[in-house]
Amino acid sequence: MKKTVTLIFNVIFALICAAAIALYFVQPVWRLDVKAHISKEQLQKMMGSSEGDIELAGDGADIALSIEMDSITVLACVTRWDAESAADALLDENIDAIADSIAGCFREIAKNTVIQTTANTIKTEVKDSVKDFLASSGSSETTDEEVDNFLNRAGVTDTYIEEKTTEIVNNIYENSSTVDEVADTVLATVEDVFADLKASGVEELDGIELTEENRQSVREAVIDVVNEYADENGIVDPEAFVDGMLLELMQSLNNGTVEGAPEGTPSSPEEAPEETPSVPEEAPSAPEAETAAYVAAAAETQEDSSEAIKQEIRTYITDLLTNGDPAPVTYLPYAFLAIGVLLALSVLSWVYLFIKTVCKCFMQNKYVKVKLPVIFGWLPFLFLMLLPNILLGVAFGALTGILPALSALAGSACFSSGMFAAIGAAALVVLWIPYRIVCKPKAVTE
């Protein structure tokens, strides 16, 4: 009976060991998650926006970036012991995620900005048209507050207009629309709004119609807004606009022409693309603009832009790592070595217990000691996750005071696959208590 119970415990121990080992190679051995808030003013400055240019929506943007190392990368860098190779390996593993996070942040800003500016345009044109109608009806001069009251009574609220605008913008993102097509869509929406006003039963708005002059005003206002996001062929593609803007921003950072950018080695002409890729010069005219050939060409162009952005971001980060005396990159091999030692101690302790447990299952004395993983198995969790997070939590406020550049950080945290090994070590401790009481042979001394 005792041997059967011991065997069951040994199988459980072996499964815990196997899980701890496997998770070191499935999850990153170390990851740093950073969240930062970029204010609206900083975004305007970074994007080169000024009065008369695009007015960004919201109060700024939150961006989340992660830098991680997996076990294979750590071991490879330790064996090479080369600073540049270590930097390249680190960038190879993270550049896609970093570029996607940055581009995704700016694309979200652009989409919200398109929604806000288009909604504001519709609101302004609707209010002006209502004022014109009331004036033509012989009413005294109507204030904005009175117009808002009429619209609210008719059910045409700001939320109603924003919902309509969101539908329009979503359609722009899903289809390749020309500037004129977008203007026609918005005009149709405004006509729907006026139909709702006419059918609302509000006495002051009885008989209201959208005049030809109002229609022309709406079209001109919408064209003025969406032209900011159109290419040279008149195709509205906000994502391509953002990619071009982001590529230009990164090129400016690499050449040190953005105010507040860290000084770095300017990227050489060979490293940066000479110009932002653009869609084919001859785009099909509407309604042929949505043909499969044009969509394929636009997708290929966006892929080229994304690769160019990644290259610029890579150049920028490489400059940060390689500049200075000593350059930060010189410490990378030592960082990889420290992580590699912790990883080796932990993995080997788990491997040792796994092999010992499996072998003991076929021996007369099946009892095993689990001290090694309990002592060494959770070291990566301790030094790569637990202590760094404690230090970040305690020292973050002080560091922000010393280094104002860190004030944009909204938070940071470290993660390590060693967390799962720590959970396994805790499970061993919990299971060891009944295991020792029930399964320990009397002849075995601790």
Would you say residue 385 has pLDDT above 80?
yes
Give the start-end residues of each E strand in 112-240. 177-178, 235-236
- What lies within 8 Å, CB to CB, of 330 at 6+ separation is 83
Q: 414 versus 275: which is more confidently predicted? A: 414
Which has the minimum average pLDDT: 47-56, 67-76, 125-134, 256-265? 256-265
| pLDDT, position 88 | 83
| pLDDT range class, residue 290, cuts 50, 70, 90 | very low
User: What span, in angstroms and rounded, lies between the C-alpha atoms of 127 and 124?
Assistant: 5
Residue 267 has pLDDT above 50, yes or no: no
User: Residue 173 carries which side chain, given as an amino acid letter?
Assistant: Y
Please spell the DSSP secondary structure of 55-66, one letter per residue: ---SSEEEEEEE
Q: From the CB of residue 177, how many other CB atoms can be counted at a distance below 10 Å?
A: 24
Task: Tell how far CA 224 is from the center of its chain.
Answer: 30
The predicted-structure confidence for 135-163, as pLDDT tens digits, reads as follows 877 666 677 788 888 888 888 888 888 88
The answer to whether the pTM exceeds 0.85 is no
Which pLDDT score, from 0 to 100, does residue 208 have?
A: 82
Alpha carbon of 418 to those of 21, 174, 252, 384: distances in Å? 10, 43, 40, 8
- Give the Cα separation of 301 and 65 in Å (integer): 25
Q: Would you kindly state where each structural domain of the chain is located, as residue ranges?
A: 2-81+332-439, 97-323
pLDDT for residue 430 is more than 70: yes
Distance between CA atoms of 76 and 89, rounded to whole angstroms?
9
**Mean per-residue pLDDT for 90-102?**
84
Q: What is the DSSP letter of 230?
A: B
- Tell whether the torsion through CA atoms of 59, 310, 229 and 114 is positive or negative: negative
Most confident of 66-75, 82-91, 100-109, 141-150: 66-75
**Which residues touch 22 (CB under 8 Å, ≥6 apart)?**
none
pLDDT score of 284: 42
- Using CA atoms, how far residue 15 sits from 28, 426, 439, in Å, is 21, 14, 18
Q: What is the mean pLDDT of residues 364-376?
A: 91
> What φ, ψ does residue 36 adopt, rounded to 5°?
-135, 150
Q: What percent of the chain has pLDDT over 90?
A: 21
pLDDT given at position 259: 47
Task: Specify the pLDDT at position 422.
Answer: 96
* Among the listed residues 204, 207, 224, the one whose alpha carbon sits nearest the alpha carbon of residue 216: 224
353 within 8 A of 17, measured Cβ to Cβ: yes
| pLDDT score recorded for residue 354 | 96
Do 121 and 221 contact (CB within 8 A), yes or no?
yes
The first and second tokens of residue 34, run together, are 């950073």
154-158, 394-398, 407-411, 422-426, range with the lowest pLDDT: 407-411
Which residues have C-beta within 8 Å of that of residue 403, sequence separation ≥ 6? none
Q: What whole-number distance in Å separates Cα of residue 438 and Cα of residue 14?
A: 18
Tens-digit pLDDT profile for residues 180-189: 888 888 888 8
Rounded mean pLDDT, 60-67: 79
Band of pLDDT at residue 277, cut at 50, 70 and 90 = very low
pLDDT score at 371: 92
**Where residue 279 falls among pLDDT bands split at 50, 70, 90?**
very low
Per-residue pLDDT band for 38 (boundaries 50, 70, 90) equals confident
Residue 39 near residue 372 (C-beta atoms within 8 A): no
pLDDT tens digits, one per residue of 402-413: 544 454 565 678
Residue 198 is predicted with a pLDDT of: 81
Lowest-confidence region among 28-37, 155-164, 252-261: 252-261
Which residues touch 98 (CB under 8 Å, ≥6 apart)? 65, 66, 67, 313, 317
Measured CA to CA, the distance from residue 178 to residue 286 in angstroms comes to 7
pLDDT of 138 reads 67
Whether the pLDDT of residue 263 is over 60: the answer is no
More confident residue, 239 or 348: 348
The mean per-residue pLDDT over the stretch 298-317 comes to 75
Residue 302's pLDDT band (cuts 50, 70, 90): low
- In terms of Cα–Cα distance, which of 149, 159, 162, 165 is closest to 197? 149
Q: How far is CA 55 from the centre of its chain?
A: 22
Torsion of CA 182, 183, 189, 190, to 10 degrees: 160
CA Rg value for the chain = 31
DSSP codes joined into one string, 102-127: HHHHHHHHHHHHHHHHHHHHHHHHHH
Better-scored residue on pLDDT, 107 or 278: 107
Average pLDDT (391-401) is: 65
For helices 292-322 and 83-136, angle between their N-to-C axes, nearest 10 degrees? 130
